[in-house]
C-alpha cells in the first residue's frame, strides 16, 4: 500500500491544501494553535521546494464567534455578513503565522462565475502562477459576501477541486476533522475502518460517504467524494486526511499510510475539458440518436446536426449544453456552435444542408470534439 502511495506521489511538487472549518475552528473561534501548526508545516514544505496553494474555510465560523452567536446562522445574509467579519481576521491569522517564516500571503476570493468565464479562469491561473513564482502563498476562499445560488461553489471542497484544475496541481490534500473516508459511518458503527486506497469511485465508495456534516463545516464527506470524482478526472491524486494531526502534511506527501488516497484516473480529461465538464452550467439539452451516441462515446467524434433528434432550452452560440440519449441519460457536455433556434432548424440534416437552411454555415459540427467532455 505504502508503495502505491510512494510511487503516486513521487513527482509531486505543486500541492493544493484545503483546510476545512472543522479543522481550523475550536470552541473559541479560530484555533490559532492548529493554524500555526499547519502553517509551520507548509512553510517547511515551501522551503523544501514544494509549491503550495491554500484553500481555506473558517470565515463564517470566525465571524460568528466574533459576534457571539452560538447556534446556526439563520439566513444567507447572516452567513454572508459573518463571512465578511471573519474573512479579515482569518487572513490576518494566516498572514501573521506565515510572516514568522518570512513568507508573504495573498488573499484570493472567488465565486463560481469567476471560473465559468474562460478569460477570468485564465487570469486566475496567471495570478496564481505569478504568486507561486514570487514565493507567496495564495490563501483562497469563496467570496461568500457576494455568492448566492447560481454563483456559489456551495462548499470549499468544490472550490479546491477547481483550483487544482486551474493550477494543474500534482496533488490535492483535503484536511478534515476525520481520519479519512470510512467504509461505514463511524458515528453509527464501531468497527468502521478508514479506506486507505480508492482506485475507482464505485457506488460502494459513494455510499460510504455520509452527507452528515459537522456543526461548523459545510460539505461533509459526501461533498469530499464528489470533489474526489472531479479531481481524479483531472488526473490529479486526492487525499482526505486528518488535519489536526501533527506532521500530517509531511506524512501524507512522504507516502505514509494516512487518510484516504484516491488514485487519479488513467484516462483523464484535459484542463479545458474539465473546465467544460465541471465548471460550466448547462443551458440546454440536445437529444441525440444511437448513431451519434456511438460516434461520440465510442469513436471520439464531434456532434453533427444529423444525429440530433430534439432540442430543449433556449441557448445561444457558445453556450454549454448537455447531450442526452433518448432516455434522458446524460452522455456529454460541450459548447454549442449554433443557438437552440438554429439547431431546431438543422437537426436531422446533413452538414452540407446547413447553409441552405440557415443562410450561413460557420461550422459543420454542432459541438466540436475539442469543446466536448464525454461522460459515458
Ligand atoms: N467559505 C466558508 C467560510 O470560509 C466555508 C465553506 C466550507 O466550509 O466549505 O466560512
CB contact at 8 A, 282 and 320 = yes
Same domain, 202 and 287: no
Query: Which atom belonging to ligand 1 lies closest to the Cα atom of 21?
Result: 8
Same domain, 293 and 204: no
Q: Which of 246, 273, 300 finishes a domain?
A: 273
User: Do 182 and 203 belong to one domain?
Assistant: yes
Query: What confidence score (pLDDT) does residue 28 get?
Result: 75
Residue where one domain finishes, among candidates 242, 273, 304: 273
Q: How far is the CA of 195 from the centre of ligand 1 (A)?
A: 26
- Among 266, 297, 284, residue whose Cα is nearest residue 373: 297
Residues 302 and 216 occupy one common structural domain: no
From the CB of 21, is ligand 1 less than 6 Å away? yes
Say if ligand 1 is within 6 A of residue 155 CB: yes
Q: Are strands 260-262 and 238-242 parallel, antiparallel or unpaired?
A: antiparallel
Tell me how far apart the alpha carbons of residues 356 and 65 are, in angstroms, rounded to a whole number. Answer: 66
pTM (global) more than 0.85? no
344 C-alpha to ligand 1 centroid (Å): 43
Three-class secondary structure of residue 130 per DSSP: helix
The CA 57 to ligand 1 mean position distance, Å, reads 4
Domains: count for the chain: 2
CATH code where residue 148 lies = 3.40.1160.10
Grid coordinates given for 342: 438554429
Q: What is the DSSP string of 211-270?
A: ----SS-SSHHHHHHHHHHHHHHTT--EEEEETTSTTHHHHHHTT-S-SEEEPPPSSPPP
Q: How far apart (Å, rounded) are the C-alpha atoms in residues 336 and 282?
A: 11
* 242 pocket-lining for ligand 1 (C-beta < 6 Å): no
User: Of ligand 1's atoms, which has the minimum distance to the CA of residue 62?
Assistant: 10
Only one residue has cell 500534482, namely 170
Nearest atom (ligand 1) to Cα of 82 = 10
Question: Rounded to whole angstroms, how far apart are CA atoms 101 and 43?
Answer: 7
- Domain enclosing residue 288, as ranges: 282-374
Residues 163 and 144 in one domain: yes
Instruction: Say if residue 205 is in the same domain as residue 91.
Output: yes
Instruction: Tell me what pLDDT residue 320 has.
Output: 92
Per-residue pLDDT of the chain (376 residues; tens, 9 = 90+): 558 888 888 889 999 999 998 899 887 789 999 999 999 999 999 999 999 999 999 999 999 999 999 888 889 899 999 999 999 999 999 999 999 999 999 999 999 888 888 888 889 999 999 999 999 999 999 999 888 777 677 789 999 999 999 999 999 999 998 899 888 877 777 888 899 999 888 888 887 776 454 544 455 788 899 899 999 988 999 999 999 999 999 999 999 999 999 999 877 777 778 778 877 889 999 999 999 999 999 898 999 999 999 999 999 998 999 999 999 999 999 999 999 999 999 999 999 999 999 998 888 999 998 889 887 6
Q: How many CB atoms lie within 10 A of CB 24?
A: 29
Would you state the cell numbers that stand for residue 197, as one nine-digit string? 486506497
Question: Given 252, 273, 294, which residue is the final one in a domain?
Answer: 273
Check: CB of residue 169 under 8 Å from CB of residue 271: no
pLDDT the model gives residue 51? 96
Do 21 and 47 belong together in one domain?
A: yes
From 59, 89, 177, give the residue whose CB has the most ligand 1 atoms within 8 Å, as the site to mutate: 59
Q: Do 227 and 150 fall into the same domain?
A: yes
Distance from Cα 334 to the centre of ligand 1, integer Å: 30
Q: Are 22 and 214 in contact (CB under 8 A)?
A: yes
CATH number at residue 287: 2.30.130.10
How many of the other CB atoms lie within 10 Å of CB of 176? 26
Q: Are 255 and 246 in contact (CB under 8 A)?
A: no
Q: What does the pLDDT read at residue 254?
A: 94
Ligand 1 neighbourhood includes 217 CB (under 6 angstroms):
yes
CB 331 within 8 A of CB 376: yes
83 C-beta closer than 6 A to ligand 1: yes
Please tell me whether residues 304 and 218 are part of one structural domain. Answer: no
Phi, psi of 121 (to 5 degrees): -55, -45
Best residue among 69, 88, 141, 147 to mutate for probing ligand 1's pocket (most ligand atoms within 8 Å of CB) is 141
pLDDT at 213: 47
CA of 56 to the centre of ligand 1 (A): 7
296 with 249, same domain: the answer is no
Residue 328: Cβ-neighbour burial (10 angstroms; 0-12, 13-18, 19+): exposed
CA of 80 to the centre of ligand 1 (A): 10
In sequence order, the β-bridge partners of residue 242 are 176
Q: Whose CA is nearest to atom 2 of ligand 1?
A: 57
Q: Are residues 294 and 214 in the same domain?
A: no
287 and 215 fall within a common domain: no
Report pLDDT for 216.
46
Does residue 111 line the site of ligand 1, with CB under 6 A? no
Is the distance from the beta carbon of residue 140 to the nearest atom of ligand 1 less than 6 Å? no
The answer to whether residues 201 and 225 touch, using CB atoms and an 8 Å cutoff, is: yes
- Ligand 1, residue 87: give the atom nearest the CA: 4
Is 319's C-beta closer than 6 angstroms to any atom of ligand 1? no
What spacing in Å lies between the alpha carbon of 40 and ligand 1's midpoint?
22
Amino acid at each position: 500500500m505504502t508503495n502505491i502511495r510512494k510511487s503516486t506521489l513521487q513527482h509531486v511538487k505543486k500541492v493544493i491544501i484545503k483546510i476545512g472549518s472543522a479543522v481550523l475552528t475550536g470552541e473559541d473561534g479560530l484555533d490559532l494553535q492548529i493554524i500555526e501548526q499547519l502553517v509551520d508545516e507548509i512553510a517547511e514544505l515551501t522551503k523544501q521546494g514544494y509549491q503550495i496553494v491554500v484553500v481555506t474555510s473558517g470565515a463564517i465560523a470566525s465571524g460568528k464567534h466574533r459576534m457571539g452567536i452560538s447556534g446556526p446562522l439563520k439566513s444567507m445574509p447572516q452567513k454572508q455578513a459573518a463571512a465578511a467579519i471573519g474573512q479579515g481576521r482569518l487572513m490576518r491569522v494566516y498572514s501573521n503565522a506565515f510572516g514568522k517564516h518570512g513568507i508573504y500571503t495573498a488573499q484570493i476570493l472567488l465565486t463560481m462565475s469567476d471560473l465559468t468565464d474562460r478569460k477570468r479562469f485564465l487570469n486566475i491561473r496567471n495570478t496564481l502562477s505569478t504568486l507561486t513564482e514570487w514565493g507567496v502563498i495564495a490563501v483562497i476562499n469563496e467570496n461568500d459576501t457576494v455568492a448566492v445560488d447560481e454563483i456559489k461553489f456551495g462548499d470549499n471542497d468544490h472550490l479546491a477541486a477547481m483550483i487544482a484544475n486551474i493550477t494543474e496541481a500534482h496533488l490535492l490534500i483535503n484536511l478534515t476533522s476525520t481520519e479519512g473516508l470510512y467504509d461505514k459511518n463511524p458515528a453509527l458503527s464501531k468497527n468502521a475502518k478508514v479506506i486507505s486506497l480508492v482506485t475507482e469511485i464505485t457506488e460502494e465508495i459513494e455510499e460510504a460517504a455520509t452527507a452528515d456534516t459537522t456543526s461548523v463545516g459545510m460539505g461533509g464527506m459526501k461533498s469530499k467524494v464528489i470533489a474526489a470524482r472531479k479531481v481524479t478526472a483531472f488526473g490529479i491524486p486526492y487525499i482526505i486526511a486528518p488535519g489536526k494531526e501533527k506532521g500530517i502534511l509531511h506524512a501524507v506527501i512522504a507516502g505514509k499510510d494516512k487518510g484516504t488516497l484516491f488514485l487519479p484516473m488513467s484516462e483523464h480529461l484535459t484542463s479545458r475539458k474539465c473546465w467544460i465538464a465541471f465548471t460550466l452550467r448547462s443551458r440546454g439539452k440536445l437529444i441525440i440518436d444511437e448513431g451519434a451516441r456511438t460516434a461520440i462515446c465510442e469513436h471520439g467524434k464531434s456532434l453533427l446536426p444529423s444525429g440530433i433528434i430534439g432540442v430543449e432550452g433556449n441557448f445561444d452560440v457558445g453556450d454549454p449544453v448537455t447531450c442526452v440519449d433518448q432516455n434522458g441519460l446524460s452522455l456529454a457536455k460541450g459548447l454549442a456552435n449554433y443557438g437552440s433556434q438554429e439547431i431546431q432548424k438543422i437537426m436531422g440534416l446533413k452538414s452540407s444542408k446547413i447553409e441552405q437552411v440557415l443562410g450561413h454555415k460557420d461550422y459543420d459540427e454542432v459541438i466540436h470534439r475539442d469543446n466536448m467532455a464525454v461522460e459515458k
